[in-house]
Amino acid sequence: MERKGFSINFGMIMAAVGSAVGLGNIWIFPYIVGTNGGGAFLLAYILICIVIGVPILASEMLIDRRTRTDSVDCFKKLAPRKKWYISGIIAVIAFFLILSFYSVVAGWSLEYIVKSAGNQVVGKNSDEISNLFTSFISSPIKPIFWTFVFILMTMVIVKSGVSEGIEKVSKVAIPVLLVIVILLGICGITLAGGREGLTFLFYPDFSKFTMEGF
């Protein structure tokens, strides 16, 4: 049975971006950058992505084009009678563990989408919003409910296939995410202390540069 892949390069790129960019990039990454040297840390991060990330990405794409199968059987095809397929099994386990974490966090996001649509967070200060979150995660039902809703959405998309499911959703969702991030950035710059925030994030302070952030 022929395995269907992405129909266009744009869909593949959007899916790759979607797998790499998460809430952590928007939420915690700027703080890690600023507290570990700002521009100095960012420069090292980009360099590591180029030196390590790009070759790994290229090798994964090459393996996929050569074998056209999953992360376990691809090693069995490339290295028969070898035990390299164990690394594929480890990758599947890692994917499962990552999904179990992100399913919960994505469930939180769905709850906040509903709350935002209902104007339930408008006009509240930081303490009130914190109490809102604490009340939500303390509930024995809501976090589990939204986690299962996200898992069900994921199952529907994946079951639709690569081109009809993952690619179609990624081509819409990732550009929308980009627009949201740009709007958030513009909003943040226009707030009081926006210039200081940019300095905190981008000014290269090599005296604070450490490898702890990695």
| Structure confidence by residue, pLDDT tens digits, 173-186 | 889 988 988 998 89
Indicate whether 102 and 123 sit together in one domain: yes
The reply to whether 105 and 125 lie within a common domain is yes
- Give the number of domains in the chain: 2
Give phi and psi for 210, each to the nearest 5.
-140, 165
Q: By percentage, how much of the chain surpasses pLDDT 90?
A: 31
Residue with tokens 């709007």: 183
Q: Do residues 120 and 149 both lie within one domain?
A: yes
* Average pLDDT estimate for 102-109: 91
Mean pLDDT of 41-58: 91
Q: Tell me the residue range of the domain where 105 lies.
A: 72-173
SS3 content of the chain, % helix, strand, coil (to 5): 75, 0, 25
Residues 168 and 99 in one domain: yes
Radius of gyration of the chain (CA): 21
Kindly state whether residue 8 falls inside one of the protein's structural domains: no
Residues 41 and 121 in one domain: no
Mean pLDDT of the chain: 87
Burial of 182 (0-12, 13-18, 19+ CB in 10 A): exposed
Helix (H, G, I), strand (E, B) or coil at 91: helix
